[in-house]
Chains A and B, each alone.
Chain A
Amino acid sequence: MADTGVVETFLQRIEKVDGGADSQEVAASLGVDHQVIVGAVKSLQTLGDVISAELRSSKHWELTEEGTEIAEQGSHEARVFNSIPLEGLPQAELMKLSFGKIGFSKAMSNKWIRVDKSHDGGPRIFRTVESIHDQVREKLLLAKRGDAARLDEKEKNELKKRKLLAEVTVKSYWITKGNSFSTTVTKQETELTPEMIASGSWKEKKFKPYNFEAMGVAPDCGHLHPLMKVRTQFRQIFLEMGFSEMPTNNFIESSFWNFDSLFQPQQHPARDQHDTFFLSDPSLAHHFPMDYLERVKKVHSEGGYGSQGYKYDWKMEEAQKNILRTHTTAVSARMLYKLAQQEKFTPVKYFSIDRVFRNETLDATHLAEFHQIEGVVADYGLTLGDLMGVLHQFFTKLGITKLRFKPAYNPYTEPSMEVFSYHEGLKKWVEVGNSGVFRPEMLLPMGLPEDVSVIAWGLSLERPTMIKYGINNIRELVGHKVNLQMVYDSPICRLDS
């Protein structure tokens, strides 16, 4: 808090003034530096509505150091003139004087002096006129007195160019009385203390109002990652719908389970080097349920189970290749196979949310690693209408109620549907997921009963997260380059609102 003495004197001055006062003037009249008044103004402002201070800035012209020197001693050219006696002065001597060089050229252009180059003993300077009028000094004196307004723009700019005059911005406050104006300053308390409560002294004290413009200190705490927060919510949704979680703790999978068991042919582009990460070590998997494998081989190469098959040479080595799984559907396949080995079929609902890997081109919304959400229902007599119904229930929990379905293609589902929802903001239908009914060529070799249908759907975890948290580049969400501040600041995840 500024020196109470100054503040009180200041307040008294304001009290006497009608209207308001300029802080510069007040400073001058009180004989204190302007900054002291500024300090007083600032501390008064924290007390509430004691005064109101409007920041103003004004420009005025001030003499530079050099300008001040000239105002006192005369311009360089005038001094040059005055230092030349009747018989003239050698140029060399003139140049030795401090004002010599600059003054000489100026005096020459003013035609106050002349040079006789051919004089004995070297060039000699003579006066050309009897007396001179030191206009520059006069103008500067005007400015010094505060009458710079009397000089026209051209004159001022000229002096500015010669670095004799400078335009200076002066900030000052226009002070007027505030609603709670008083000439006394009462100290305000900032905190309620235990002593005040005990003694009751709080009743007599005035408390400083809160500054709601200032940021508070953030408490020290931990934070959960936004993508994982969204994952938790999706997990919750599935559990609420009665879906059991599949064991997905294996990033590595054999091509057999990832592709072949899903009836994806060995020549399919997705099995390319360009799209899938293959392992060099360990490169091949060796343990498979062999009788099942034989059935898979047959349905690919010859057909069967009511299918024509793909009619190509199915190779064991291709199926053995280890890869980083390209979808969690590989786990669904394992689970369905396991289900088919049961004595008696029981209907199931499974889900998983876990990481998958694609060796594709990376851009703002695609990384090599991302998370896939998958839901599967296996039961007798499920229809396409049932799939739509389950999707509707699922998406309703996300707050999405308007859905449309479009025919699509997946190697392992038939029919396949892309799921679209209406985006109120963009005013168009956007894709929110993919779904389908697994093909008989996939289910029957596993040993599942013929009238059992398996419906499934999936979407990525990153996309809804990026939409929810307003993130445009996936690298700002996943990986080590993520800004931790984003993680600190990310709000709770409420998917249905």
Chain B
Amino acid sequence: DELCFEFGLELDEITSEREIISKEQGDSKASDASDVILYKIDVPANRYDLLCLEGLVRGLQVFKNKLEAPRYRRLSPDSGESQRLIITKETAAVRPHAVAAVLRNITFTQERYDSFIELQEKLHQNICRSRSLVAIGTHDLDTISGPFTYTAKAPGDICFRPLNQTKEYTATQLMSLYKTDSHLRHYLPIIEDKPVYPVIYDSNDIVLSMPPIINGDHSKISLKTKNVFIECTATDLTKAKIVLDMIVTMFSEYCAQPFTVEQAEVVYPDGKTCIYPELAYRKEKLSGEFINKKVGIRESTERIAQLLTRMCLLSQPTGVGDEIEVEIPPTRPDVIHACDIMEDAAIAYGFNNITRTTPHTYTVANQFPLNKLTELLRQDLAAAGFTEALNFALCSQEDIADKLGKKISETRAIHISNPKTAEFQVARTTLLPGLLKTIAANRKMPLPLKLFEISDVVLKDESKDSTFFPGRCAEIFVRGTSVGRLGVLHPDVIGRFELTMPCSALEMDLEPFL
């Protein structure tokens, strides 16, 4: 718990498989389940390197000085020729980018395999924004042969046997087939309405995958797989590169040559080629003073370099004054500015070890005039015997129009485009419906009920009154300006809020009084 707190992780729950099943299905079903302790840990949303057990453990061990951060290397293939992924121009219409890499001589166990699949899913949900920005495909290289072609074709022209199916389907058929699949149906809209769907073939026309929906069954990975071909197709190239780097850095640990990745070549429609994965190590120089000043500590340059190295940011004093050269590894795409480095130094130092100080900022405070006036009026309204209500700013169209005897087009209301229910259709243009609904919900309270509310309403711009009983209402003028209205509510209005007693109301705009 302490370690998680220090590092910035949240230890959500300590449980076991048995406990989980017990809670969900009852003790009897749990009797065969594992008692192994499970830790549920929440990681920060921008740390993709902590999304799998391999990365998390690696990060914590370096943090605790138990391990040196590994160096990830991209190698060219022993045999000379890299695997090639050729992108055709048709993809531009639907999913233009792709990157690829190879994990050579890898050894999977059941656990490693599960972790591998799980990381892909987590990345899909997180940085890939539910596969809309990037989709990952991993394949058993020994079942396919390059060069691979990434193209886009009309749905009727794509036909293959998808993962875990026994027969072949066209893409059109797959769209219907997966409509009822609880997992895959969410991804169908990404390509459904496009004229062409993305698809990757090998040199023998075997379909590797139809991103972002499903991989082919032919090239699926098993525990026996030794060589993995990874492809990421995307609408955002930067993210595709990050995702690829993440997968290979995390799992290259299990290759015969640990932490090495075999390169792959991607050929663009215009003939340009790119080698992936990038696995870039970026260098940044900053001063020890910068860190000390921003954090509020006084550490030596060497010490700071050590702190950063513990965060997987390998650092060395350069010898020029208090300058430090920091190397940002490919596992840390979240570090984009010196301030990210500074935060890591502070984490390694320990937030709770920093001496707290008081800034000597001298300021004279001012109240916002509208709020100042509101506070004074609230007090006096309560002293006058009224009770304060607190109502929602969002309500239904009916509340501010029909029920008040108006047409919605007459109100100056703003409309919400994605309301989950009718209660979120518009923002209130008047405080009246809220008060009347409060009274209606408190019918059983003894009379008289005297309520008030002083709060914001939302008006679009420009606007007269079927809300009041004829002959029993008035507009309020102050120095020639209309500031509001008061009167006895029309019986129809009273009825629409399910009330029975006569009601008088007053509503005024405060802003002219400032």
Q: Which chain A residues have a beta carbon within 8 Å of chain B's beta carbons? A: 220-225, 227-228, 232, 235, 238-239, 241-249, 251-252, 267, 269, 273, 277-283, 303, 305-312, 324, 347-349, 355, 357, 359, 367-369, 377, 379, 381-386, 388-390, 392-393, 404-409, 411, 414-417, 437, 439-441, 453, 477-485, 487-488
Residue numbers in B under 8 Å from A349 (CB-CB): 361, 363, 365
Question: Contact at A223–B382, with CB atoms within 8 Å?
Answer: yes
Instruction: Flag whether B339 is at the interface (Cβ < 8 A).
Output: yes
Contact with A along B418-455 (1 / 0, CB 8 A): 11100010010000001001101110010001100000
Q: CB < 8 Å: which of B238, B364, B378 contacts A228?
A: B378
Roughly how many angstroms separate A111 CA and B438 CA in the complex, as a whole number?
75
Contact across chains for A242 and B336 when beta carbons are under 8 A apart: no
B387 at the interface (CB under 8 A from A): yes
**7 A/B residue pairs, CB under 8 Å, sorted by A:** A248-B368, A277-B416, A279-B416, A324-B427, A411-B46, A453-B294, A479-B390
Contact A383 B388, beta carbon cutoff 8 Å? no
Tell whether, in the assembled complex, residue A222 and residue B460 are in contact, meaning their CB atoms are under 8 Å apart. Answer: no
Choose among B45, B352, B365 the residue with the greatest number of A CB atoms under 10 Å from its CB: B365
For A437, give its contact among B338, B339, B394, B415 (CB under 8 Å). B339
Whether A225 contacts B390 in the complex (CB less than 8 A), given A414-B337, A440-B337, comes out as yes
**A384 to B296, Cβ gap below 8 A?**
yes
> B363 and A244: CB pair below 8 A?
yes
For A228, list chain B residues within 8 Å (CB). 378, 388, 390
Whether A386 contacts B8 by the Cβ 8 Å rule is: no
Residue in B238, B352, B378 whose CB lies within 8 Å of A224:
B378
Secondary structure of the B side of the interface?
Answer: loop
Chain B contact patch, size range: 35 or more
Are B416 and A415 in contact (CB-based, < 8 A)? no
The answer to whether A277 touches B388, judged by C-beta atoms less than 8 angstroms apart, is: no
| Contact A407 to B129, CB < 8 A, known contacts A223-B382, A228-B378, A239-B365 | no
Contact of B387 among A222, A239, A393 (CB under 8 A): A222
A277 touches B424 (CB 8 A): yes
Interface centre among A220, A348, A385, A440 (most CB of B within 10 A): A385
Query: Given the known A-B contacts A280-B416, A311-B238, are A267 and B378 also in contact in the complex, defined by CB atoms under 8 Å?
Result: no
**Nearest Cβ distance between residue A230 and chain B, in whole angstroms?**
11
B92 within 8 A of A: no
- What 0/1 pattern do residues 388 to 425 of B give for CB contact below 8 A with A? 11111110000000000000000000111111100010
Contact B361 A377 (CB under 8 A): yes
| Contact residue among A245, A311, A407, A487 (Cβ-Cβ distance under 8 Å from B347) | A407
A224, A248, A389, A415 — most chain B CB neighbours (10 Å) = A415
The residues of B that contact A282 with a CB separation of less than 8 Å are 414, 460
Question: B187: shortest Cβ distance to chain A, in Å?
Answer: 16
Give the CA-CA distance A235 to B366 in the complex, in Å: 11
Report A-chain residues with C-beta under 8 Å of the C-beta of B297.
385
Shortest CB distance A2–B (Å): 32
Contact with A along B354-396 (1 / 0, CB 8 A): 1111110111111110110001001101111111111111100
Q: Given contacts A278-B417, A409-B45, is CB(A312)–CB(B390) below 8 Å?
A: no
Separation of A487 and B438 alpha carbons in the complex (Å): 12
Q: A349-B361, A368-B394, A409-B44 are in contact. List 19 more A-B contacts (CB 8 A).
A: A222-B386, A223-B388, A224-B378, A224-B379, A224-B382, A232-B375, A249-B456, A277-B418, A306-B338, A312-B238, A383-B294, A384-B354, A386-B296, A404-B352, A408-B8, A409-B47, A415-B343, A439-B337, A480-B441
The 8 closest A-B pairs by CB, nearest first: A385-B296, A407-B8, A383-B296, A280-B417, A409-B44, A480-B437, A415-B343, A222-B382
Task: Establish whether residues B370 and A249, one from each chain, have CB atoms under 8 Å apart when the complex forms.
Answer: yes
**Contact string against A for B residues 334-351, beta-carbon threshold 8 Å, 1 for contact and 0 otherwise:** 001111101100110001
Q: B494-510: which residues lie under 8 A (CB-CB) from chain A?
A: none
Distance (Å) between the CB of B484 and the closest chain A CB? 17
Given B44, B381, B416, which contacts A278 in the complex, CB threshold below 8 Å?
B416
Q: Are B385 and A220 in contact (CB under 8 A)?
A: yes
Assembled-state Cα–Cα distance A437/B361 (Å): 16
With A227-B390, A283-B417 known as contacts, the answer to whether A409 contacts B362 (CB < 8 A) is no
Report which of B8, B336, B383, B417 forms a contact with A308, defined as CB distance below 8 A: B336
Contacts of A416 in B (CB 8 A): 343
**Would you call A279 and B295 a contact (CB within 8 A)?**
no
**Is A406 a contact of B5 with CB atoms below 8 Å?**
yes
Minimal Cβ-Cβ distance residue in A for B414: A279
When chains A and B are docked, how far (Å) is the Cα of A42 from the Cα of B344? 78
In the complex, the answer to whether A279 meets B364 with C-beta atoms within 8 Å is: no
B133 on the A face (CB < 8 A): yes
Q: In the assembled complex, which residues on chain B have CB atoms less than 8 Å from the CB atom of A367?
A: 392
Return the contact of A415 from the options B239, B346, B363 (Cβ within 8 A). Answer: B346
Please, which residue of chain A has its CB at the minimum distance from the CB of B354? A385
Point out the residues of chain B lying under 8 angstroms from A441, CB to CB: 337
Instruction: Decide: A245 and B424 in contact? CB cutoff 8 A.
Output: no
Nearest-neighbour CB distance to chain B for A267, whole angstroms, equals 6
**Quick one: given A281-B415, A383-B357, A386-B359, are A484 and B387 in contact (CB under 8 Å)?**
yes
Asked if A385 contacts B357 (CB within 8 A), the reply is: yes
Q: In this assembly, does B293 line the interface, its C-beta being within 8 Å of a C-beta of chain A?
A: yes
CB distance from A484 to the nearest CB of B (A): 4
Q: In the complex, are the beta carbons of B337 and A385 less than 8 A apart?
A: no
Closest to B349 in A: A384
The complex places the Cα of A357 from the Cα of B238 at a distance, in Å, of: 32
Q: Evaluate contact between A414 and B8: CB separation under 8 angstroms.
A: no
Residue B236 at the A interface, CB < 8 A?
yes
- A484 and B442 within 8 A (CB): yes
The CA-CA distance from A393 to B239 in the complex, in Å, is 42
Q: Identify which of A306, A386, A406, A478 contacts B357 (C-beta below 8 A).
A: A386
**Chain B, range 275-307, C-beta contacts under 8 Å to A:** 282, 293-297
Asked, given contacts A389-B359, A409-B44, whether A267 binds B129 with beta carbons under 8 Å apart, the answer is: yes
B109 to chain A, nearest CB (A): 32
Q: A242-B362, A485-B445 are in contact. Are A225 and B388 (CB under 8 A)?
A: yes
| Contact assessment for B438 and A369 in the assembled complex, using a CB-CB cutoff below 8 Å | no
Interface residue? B177 (CB, 8 A): no
Q: Are B394 and A357 in contact (CB under 8 A)?
A: yes
* CB contact between A393 and one of B358, B385, B450 (< 8 Å): that residue: B358
Cβ 8 A contact of B351, one of A242, A305, A407? A407
Bound together, the chains give a CA A347 to CA B449 distance in angstroms of: 48
Which of chain B's residues have a CB closer than 8 A to the CB of A484? 387, 438, 442, 445, 449
Q: A415, B427: Cβ atoms under 8 Å?
A: no
A359 touches B336 (CB 8 A): no
Q: Which chain B residues lie closer than 8 Å to A280 at the CB level? A: 415-417
Chain A hits for B352, CB < 8 A: 404-405
B184 CB within 8 Å of chain A = no
Query: Hey, which chain B residues are within 8 Å of A232, CB to CB?
Result: 375
- Which of the residues B295, B343, B388, B456 comes within 8 Å of A251, measured between beta carbons? B456
Assess whether A390 is in contact with B359, with CB atoms less than 8 Å apart: yes
B contact residues around A347 at 8 Å (CB): 361-363
Say whether A225 contacts B367, CB under 8 Å: no
Q: How far is the CA of A312 from the CA of B239 in the complex (A)?
A: 9
- Residues of B near A311 (CB, < 8 A) are 238
Residue of B nearest to A431 (CB): B10
Contact B394 A308 (CB under 8 A): no
Q: Chain B, 231-270, contact with A by CB distance < 8 Å: what is the 0/1 string?
A: 0000010110000000000000000000000000000000
| Interface hub of B361, B391, B440, B450 (most chain A Cβ within 10 A) | B361
Complex: A477 Cα to B438 Cα, angstroms: 12
Q: How far is the CA of A439 from the CA of B384 in the complex (A)?
A: 48
* A483 touching B442 in the complex, CB below 8 Å, given contacts A220-B385, A222-B387, A359-B418: yes
Check if B458 is an interface residue, CB within 8 A of chain A. yes
* CB of B116 within 8 Å of the partner chain: no
Shortest beta-carbon distance from B144 to chain A in Å: 32
B356–A224 touching, CB < 8 Å: no
Specify which chain A residues have a CB less than 8 angstroms from the CB of B339 in the assembled complex: 414-415, 437, 439-440
B108: CB under 8 A from chain A? no
A477 smallest CB distance to B (angstroms): 8
Interface flag for B113 (CB, 8 Å): no
Interface contact A245-B371, CB-CB below 8 Å: yes
